[in-house]
Amino acid sequence: MLSLLKIFYQLSGAYYNLSLQESYERARAVLKRHHQDLKIVTNALLEYETLDLSDIKLLVKGKKISRHIEMSAAGPVVTPSNTQLLKTVLDGTKMGKPPMQQS
């Protein structure tokens, strides 16, 4: 009985290692296939620090994203020009409140 258990552990360990190796190879292939897109998104993240889904879609289609800088009491705020709703929610104007101010 002990030898059967030992064989089971060896087989399950071998299956685990094979599965892990296959997953690694698939992940590596995906990264290689999308290397250029990853490079573009990485550079945009370095420039803008944050991206939303629409930004990423534009970038991988080879288009530029546009952002504008607004001044607030806390300093410059970079907002996506195509995401006006985010700006209004963050500064409170959509809810009829005055813009956020530093204490």
Question: For the chain, what are the domain ranges?
Answer: 66-103
Cα gap 73→86, rounded to integer Å: 18
Q: What type of residue is 6? A: K
**Interacting residues of 48 by C-beta distance below 8 A, sequence separation 6+:** 55, 65, 67, 78
Q: What is the three-class DSSP state of 88?
A: helix
**SS3 at position 67:** strand
Confidence of residue 70 (pLDDT cuts 50, 70, 90): low
Specify the DSSP element, H or E, that contains 84: helix 84-91
Tens of pLDDT, residue by residue over 29-65, are: 999 999 999 999 999 999 888 888 999 999 999 998 8
Q: Which pTM does this prediction carry?
A: 0.50
